[in-house]
């Protein structure tokens, strides 16, 4: 049977990131996506203008209604209103009630936005707990570690410290900086080698596509290192098929 994946993410009108990109990624990797918007954004790859959170009561009702027909135990969560503690403390338990496995892309700044949002206590709670995998890049990892009051000399040590503090598994991407991905738990850190693709400019939605691809592997029952490697390979494939729609804009996988 085709594995199902519950996807909660922001609605990006460009389709290059967020819910639309997540759904395309899930289908490409053999998962059936069940999609629920968390945030309605006004953006393109040049500018992130605004975002409005979706009412938690809608999200809860949507999950309950989906559960009446579909069987799922894995969720991918993308953009959420990270500064809204009441929203996070409402939606987080609703998802955890239904899903044993949750992959969270801790979006603290959209690529086209000007400033990152520092994690508050509610966001840290949202990221924490057994069965959770978070997929920060190194900048997001640093923001999370700072919010937790953690200091470390290397990304590996920082990721392990975050894993210990949150109870989550931490999968760190270096984007174009290093040809590897780190998987950090409380006891060990594993390096997964990946292929770097030279890029002339930023690509819209790479983080969300990677975390969704990883969640598809988890939903299919793959060991986490295998799911990480397949997600990285999928992203490498996408980066070979890019198009730019504005001379100053980012590239989009097509």
Reported as a single tens digit per residue, the pLDDT across 21-73 is 999 999 999 999 999 999 999 999 999 999 999 999 999 999 999 999 999 99
The sign of the CA dihedral 173, 176, 177, 179 is positive
Stretch 129-147: mean pLDDT, rounded?
A: 96
- 3-state class percentages of the chain: helix first, strand second, coil last, to nearest 5: 40, 25, 40
Show the CA angle centred on residue 13, arms to residues 8 and 19, nearest 5°.
Answer: 20
Percent of the chain exceeding pLDDT 70 equals 96
Stretch 225-244: mean pLDDT, rounded?
A: 95
Q: How far apart are CA 107 and CA 84, in angstroms?
A: 14
Q: Is the pLDDT of residue 114 over 70?
A: no
Q: Which residue has the tokens 């060991």?
A: 223
Question: According to the model, what pLDDT value does residue 197 have?
Answer: 86
Q: How many residues does the chain have?
A: 254
Q: Model pTM?
A: 0.95
Could you report the per-residue pLDDT of 143-160, keeping only the tens digit for each? Answer: 999 999 999 999 999 999
Stretch 111-136: mean pLDDT, rounded?
A: 84
Q: How far apart are CA 138 and CA 49, in angstroms?
A: 25
Q: Is the pLDDT of residue 235 over 70?
A: yes
Helix or strand run (H / E) with residue 212: helix 206-219
Alpha helices by DSSP H, listed for 68-182, are 85-98, 121-127, 138-148, 155-166
Q: How far apart are CA 211 and CA 29, in angstroms?
A: 12
Question: According to the model, what pLDDT value does residue 159 have?
Answer: 97
Specify the fold of 4-253.
3.40.1190
């Amino acid at each position: 049977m085709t594995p199902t994946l519950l996807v909660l993410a922001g609605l990006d009108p460009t389709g290059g990131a967020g819910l639309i990109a997540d759904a395309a990624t899930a289908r490409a990797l053999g998962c059936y996506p069940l999609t629920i918007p968390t945030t309605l954004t006004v953006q393109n790859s040049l500018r992130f203008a605004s975002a409005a959170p979706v009412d938690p009561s809608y999200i809860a009702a949507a999950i309950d209604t989906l559960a009446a027909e579909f069987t799922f135990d894995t969720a991918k969560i993308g953009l959420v209103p990270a500064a809204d503690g009441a929203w996070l403390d409402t939606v987080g338990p609703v998802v955890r009630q239904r899903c044993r496995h949750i992959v969270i892309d801790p979006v603290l700044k959209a690529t086209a936005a000007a400033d990152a949002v520092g994690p508050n206590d509610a966001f840290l709670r949202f990221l924490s707990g057994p069965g959770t995998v978070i997929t920060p890049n190194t900048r997001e990892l640093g923001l999370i570690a700072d919010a937790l009051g953690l200091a470390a000399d290397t990304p590996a040590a920082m990721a392990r410290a975050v894993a210990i503090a949150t109870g989550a598994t931490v999968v760190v991407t270096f984007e174009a900086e290093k040809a590897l991905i780190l998987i950090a738990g409380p006891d060990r850190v594993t390096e997964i080698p990946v292929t770097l693709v030279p890029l002339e400019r930023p690509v819209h939605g790479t983080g969300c596509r990677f975390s969704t691809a990883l969640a598809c592997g988890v939903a299919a029952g793959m060991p986490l290192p295998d799911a990480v490697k397949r997600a990285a390979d999928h992203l490498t494939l996408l980066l070979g098929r890019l198009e730019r729609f504005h001379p100053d804009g980012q590239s989009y996988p097509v």
